[in-house]
A and B are shown apart, each in its own frame.
Chain A
Amino acid sequence: MIQPLTMPEQGYTLTPKEDAIETQMLEVSMGPHHPSTHGVFRMDVVLDGEEVRRLKPVLGYLHRNHEQLAEKMNWLGSIPFTDRLDYFCSMTNNWAYCLAVEQLAGIKVPERAEYIRVIMAELTRLQNHSCQAGFLLSDTGAWGTPLLYAFREREKILDLFEAASGARMMCNYMRFGGVRADVDDDWLAAARKVVENYPCFIDELEALITGNEILLARTQKIGILPRELAINASITGPMLRASGVDYDIRKVDRYGIYGRLDFRVPLGEVGDVYDRYYVRILEMRESVKILQQALRDIPEGPSDAGVKMRNFKVPVGDGYGRIEGPKGELGFYLVSDGSTRPYRYHVRAPSFINLTILEDMCVGHKLADAMVILGSVDIVLGEVDR
């Protein structure tokens, strides 16, 4: 049924005849194999011409029973599995889990380990946000160039991870009460060099594309997420801050040593794709500042609390450890019955919860915009499906 079209300026109403051209909605199943659904994610899209009328995210193609596995395994055993949640940010995943266990078991983390954790987490944030910007720009059609620039920088950070932990992506680096291996002065020097050079890359990326007319047209006023909706939908991370909500767990919880570090939290105003893109760029600049401070102040000392891992047990109780992951609030809710295994293990995955709002952002936009909006959410399917 075609609605009558009122034209107040002309002062008349156009009423289409009933036998006007009959149109049909087109239902397209995009994914799970699709170049820009960022993995095995599927969207059932109902299109009116090019316009999205309904969109249903379909998940679960990468489900691998992460939580159940962790409940069948000792406390230490699931650290390597947390690497595989958000495989771009294994360091922060490790940290969130360790933080939850440390809370439960009341383990005090030595100073140097806290610094190393902050350094690793912020390096993770840098590479995650760079690549996210690259993927988003690829979705807008900037064919790979920003993405490959981001990957060039990511290589340097992955080299640092490899030097510290022995693995580039699946780092498995943090332990209850500290980190698995201390970093030496050479590593710190190398990290300083990477951090010093990082603003050059951010400037380069911005010079390449931020002011680009087409990018502005493609991203501004697209996929607006209003402040209230963002809060109600439990959105976290850069996406929430792009909608103008001042909520950064590094500032709220001041976990680790974040209370001592000087950094600012950039906020967006409109909450559209462009804000989400640019808030991440600004966060990278803040991360560089954090890294400079942490690398300057890192003290000597032990890099772990010497917790005995063999037959490690946790007192009865429950605990929730959360950090500001690059994608949002990454939380681990753990219930212990005093044995060597968690009784209940739950991951609050930011990618998954940020994805739930996709339809509200996409409806009414064009199909091409839906892809850009999806890109701006920043999902990793390993974390969405768990």
Chain B
Amino acid sequence: MYNFFDQLILTLGAWVVGLVVACGNGVSKFCCGQPLSEAAAHNVAAGTEIVLICVTIYGVFALCFGLATWLERKMLARIQNRYGPNRVGPFGLFQFVADGVKMLTKEDIVPARADKLVHFLAPAVVLAPALLMFAFLPFGRNMAPTNLDTAVIAFFAVGAGSEMALFMAGWGSRNKYSILGAMRAVAQMISYEIPLVLAAVPVVMVVGSLSTSQIVAAQGADGFLDMSRWFVWTPWGFAGFILFLVAATAESNRCPFDLPEGESELVAGFHVEYSGFKFALFFMAEYIGMMAMAGLGVTLFLGGWHGPKLLPSWMWFMGKGFLIVCWLIWLRGTLPRLRVDQLMAFAWKAMLPFALFNIFTTAVWFHLPKATLLQSAVAWLVTAALVAAAYWVVSRFVCRRAGALRVYHYAS
């Protein structure tokens, strides 16, 4: 029963592939009088599989995008003592459908002096890398869309493409707010890409592979106790996870790093001149990028699709991913925004040294003996001490607290 649900999507996929091949055979017999050759049948099956994977990813994550917007609005509303959307469907769950219809039917305004081509292309260019990032994540048991040996690198490389799109949007709009927002976006995303990648390096070092499937495989089986093998429970893994989350927040332009949009000063930043569905595409890219980042975080540090056999593997993956998304929403409801120079200082002065030191810590962990429980405990404590020391040094000497609470006096 468990296996049925666990592999449900694959079974359905195999059934559709079989159906398509059978149809192909039928058509071939009708036209040529003989079934498809073995090579042709193989090609048809492979092609169908690719189409199916694409359709599934687009479908599932477009739906997830809708749910995430609903979740964000609802959670923010509850944090802020409001109701949030509650008119369309149960609990306002179909609000995103109404939003989509609204966006599609709105007028598409292009500024008169905009660079028309760049302005038109930017929303498409921003969405493509966000969607492509999902190609490298294993969603469940036997459910990796691609089995690339360099999946982690490919993920970051593809993700970096969105910077260009944001700058295209800002530049093409010919608007001062846009250009400021685009400048901020490029500076911010390039700065935070470095700690983001460095935060993932320890995992790659320990696993010895850049393949996301192997990284997941290295993080244990499906028992309750196997959860202890998630990398987040090791000191370097925990530090890396925190670094990764912070950098991913900045990378997906989420509060408190939402400077490119900078609502209070730049109105909407790089997408201030976009309306209708082009705006929706930016919105979609932001959310899908955020979910992809959450997915990579789950893959690298939270054991990927592994989890006790209470839920199918893909549900574990989705659940963990949404947990990270919820965390991001919670941040947005709570924190003020950093200023542009503070943002840069934080990336270069706090996160970069800490991430570099974390790589060293991981090397120490890698070489310490962990054969017995006692040795493992010693290794854990040593690396924990190293992480704490690194944190202390960075917070005390490199990137210090910006302010302190003050004591006020009263007029006599």
- The answer to the question of B21 belonging to the interface, with a C-beta cut-off of 8 Å to chain A, is no
A216 touches B408 (CB 8 A): no
CB <8 Å contact, B256 and A214: yes
With A28-B176, A267-B411, A371-B264: A142-B336 Cβ-Cβ less than 8 Å: yes
Check A5 for interface membership: any CB of B closer than 8 A. Answer: no
Give the residue name and chain of the A residue nearest to B402 (CB): A217
| Chain A residues closer than 8 Å to B406, beta-carbon distance | 269-270, 274-275, 278
User: Which residue in B176, B177, B264, B403 is a CB contact (below 8 Å) of A138?
Assistant: B264
Closest to A267 in B: B411
Q: Which of B314-349 contact A (CB under 8 A)?
A: 332-342
Leading 7 A-B pairs by shortest Cβ distance: A141-B337, A216-B403, A217-B402, A220-B403, A246-B411, A264-B410, A140-B336
Chain B residues with CB under 8 Å of A26's CB are 176, 179-180
CB proximity of B367 to chain A, nearest CB, Å = 36
Q: A140-B337, A145-B333, A217-B339 are in contact. List 11 more A-B contacts (CB 8 A).
A: A137-B336, A141-B255, A141-B264, A148-B81, A209-B336, A214-B338, A266-B410, A267-B408, A275-B406, A278-B406, A367-B265
Complex Cα distance, B79 from A368, in Å, reads 25
Q: Looking at the complex, which one of B256, B332, B339, B403 makes contact with A368 (CB distance below 8 Å)? A: B339
Query: Which of A139, A218, A266, A275 has the most CB atoms of chain B within a 10 A radius of its CB?
Result: A218
* B286 interface residue per 8 A CB criterion: no
In the complex, per-residue mask of B374-407: 1 if CB is within 8 Å of any chain A CB, else 0: 0000000000000000000000000001111110
23 A-B contacts, Cβ less than 8 Å apart? A26-B176, A28-B176, A35-B263, A35-B264, A50-B184, A140-B336, A141-B337, A141-B338, A143-B255, A143-B333, A145-B334, A149-B81, A210-B405, A213-B403, A214-B256, A216-B402, A217-B342, A220-B403, A269-B406, A270-B406, A274-B403, A279-B408, A368-B337
Judge whether B267 and A141 touch: CB under 8 Å.
no
Is B409 located at the chain interface by the 8 A CB criterion?
Answer: yes
Q: Does A208 contact B (CB under 8 A)?
A: yes
User: Is A265 in contact with B410, judged by CB distance below 8 angstroms?
Assistant: yes
- Return chain A residues, CB-CB under 8 Å to B237: none
**What are the residues of chain A within 8 A of B334 when measuring CB–CB?**
142, 145, 208
A268 to B408, CA, bound (A): 6
Asked, given contacts A145-B334, A214-B256, whether A368 binds B264 with beta carbons under 8 Å apart, the answer is yes
Tell whether B140 is near chain A: CB-to-CB under 8 Å: no
**Complexed CA–CA distance, A148 and B394 (Å):** 36
Q: Which residues of A contact B336 (CB under 8 A)?
A: 137, 140-142, 209, 212, 214-215, 218
Decide: A371 and B265 in contact? CB cutoff 8 A. yes
Tell me the complex Cα distance, A152–B402, Å: 31
Q: How does the 8 Å CB contact mask read for B254-292 relative to A, with 1 for contact and 0 for none?
A: 011011001111010000000000000000000000000
Q: How far is the CB of B409 from chain A (nearest CB, A)?
A: 6
Q: Is the CB of B408 within 8 A of A278?
A: yes
A138 and chain B: residue at smallest CB distance: B264
A230 → chain B closest CB, angstroms? 15
CB B326 to nearest CB in A, in angstroms, measures 16
Interface: B29 (CB within 8 A):
no
Q: Which residues on the A side are within 8 Å of B80 (C-beta)?
A: 144-145, 148-149
Smallest CB gap from B338: residue in A: A214
Asked if A71 is at the interface (CB within 8 A of a chain B CB), the reply is no
Per the bound structure, the CA–CA distance linking A369 and B342 in Å amounts to: 12
* B337: min CB distance to chain A, Å: 3
User: Is the pair A267, B82 in contact by a Cβ cutoff of 8 Å?
Assistant: no
**Nearest CB in chain B: distance from A40 CB, A:** 15
Q: Quote the shortest CB–CB distance from B92 to chain A (angstroms).
A: 18
What residues of A have a CB within 8 angstroms of the CB of B333 in the complex? 143, 145
Q: Does the CB pair B411–A212 fall under 8 Å?
A: no
Is B405 a contact of A140 with CB atoms below 8 Å? no
Q: Which among A144, A211, A368 has the greatest number of chain B C-beta atoms within 10 A?
A: A368
- Chain A nearest Cβ from B221, distance in angstroms: 40
Say yes or no: is A248 at the interface (Cβ < 8 Å to chain B). yes
Check: A56 CB closer than 8 A to any chain B CB.
no
The residues of B with any CB-CB pair to A shorter than 8 Å are 76, 79-82, 176-177, 179-180, 184, 255-256, 258-259, 262-265, 267, 332-342, 401-406, 408-411
Interface size of A in residues (CB-CB distance below 8 Å): 55
Candidate in A47, A141, A269, A282 with the most chain B CB atoms within 10 angstroms? A141
Pairwise interchain contact B409-A217, C-beta atoms closer than 8 A: no
Chain A residues, CB < 8 A from B335:
141-142, 212, 214
A218 to B81, Cβ gap below 8 A?
no
Q: In the complex, A373 Cα to B338 Cα: how many Å?
A: 15
User: What's the Cα separation between A34 and B177 when bound, in Å?
Assistant: 11
Residues B402 and A213 in contact, CB atoms below 8 Å apart: yes
Task: Tell me the smallest distance from the CB of B38 to a CB of chain A, in Å.
Answer: 59
Q: Which residues of chain B are near A133, meaning CB under 8 Å?
A: none
Asked, given contacts A214-B335, A217-B339, whether A28 binds B81 with beta carbons under 8 Å apart, the answer is no
A139–B265 Cα gap in the complex (Å)?
A: 8
Cβ of A344 under 8 Å from chain B: no
A54 within 8 Å of B (CB atoms): no
CB distance B337 to A366 under 8 Å? no
The distance from the CB of B198 to the nearest CB of chain A, in whole angstroms, is 23
User: Could you tell me if B264 and A140 are in contact, using CB atoms closer than 8 angstroms?
Assistant: yes
Measured between beta carbons, the chain B residues less than 8 angstroms from A72 are none
Indicate with 1 or 0, residue by residue over A218-243, a CB within 8 angstroms of chain B CB atoms.
11110000000000000000000000
A370 B410 Cβ-Cβ under 8 A: no
Assembled-state Cα–Cα distance A28/B332 (Å): 28
Note all chain A residues with C-beta closer than 8 A to B180: 26, 28, 47, 50, 367
At the interface, yes or no: A340 with Cβ under 8 Å from chain B?
no
CB distance from A352 to the nearest CB of B (A): 23
Chain A nearest Cβ from B396, distance in angstroms: 14
Write out the residue numbers on chain A whose beta carbons fall within 8 Å of the beta carbon of B332: 143
Residue in A36, A140, A215, A265 whose CB lies within 8 Å of B411: A265
Q: Which chain B residue lies CB-closest to A214? A: B336
Q: Given A35-B267, A148-B80, do A366 and B339 touch, yes or no (CB 8 Å)?
A: yes
Contacts of A366 in B (CB 8 A): 339-341
Are A282 and B403 in touch, CB under 8 angstroms? no
Q: Which of A43-59 contact B (CB under 8 A)?
A: 47, 50
Task: Determine whether A251 belongs to the interface, using a CB cutoff of 8 Å to chain B.
Answer: yes
> Does A368 contact B265, Cβ atoms closer than 8 Å?
yes
**Are the CB atoms of A368 and B408 closer together than 8 Å?**
no
Cβ-defined contact, B340 with A368, below 8 A = yes
Q: Quick one: given A152-B81, A214-B336, are A220 and B402 in contact (CB under 8 Å)?
A: yes
Whether B410 contacts A267 by the Cβ 8 Å rule is yes
When A36-B265, A267-B409 are in contact, do A213 and B401 touch as well, CB less than 8 Å?
Answer: yes
Residues of chain B contacted by A212 (CB below 8 angstroms): 335-336
Interface contact B402-A282, CB-CB below 8 Å: no
A209 to B177, CA, bound (A): 28
In the bound complex, CA of A195 to CA of B363 (Å) = 59
Q: How far is B267's CA from A34's CA once the two chains are assembled, in angstroms?
A: 7
Give residues 94-140 of A contacting B (CB, 8 Å).
Answer: 137-140
Q: Output the nearest chain B residue to A140 by Cβ-Cβ distance.
A: B336
Chain B residues lying within 8 Å of A274, measured Cβ to Cβ, are 403, 406
Would you call B255 and A369 a contact (CB within 8 A)?
no
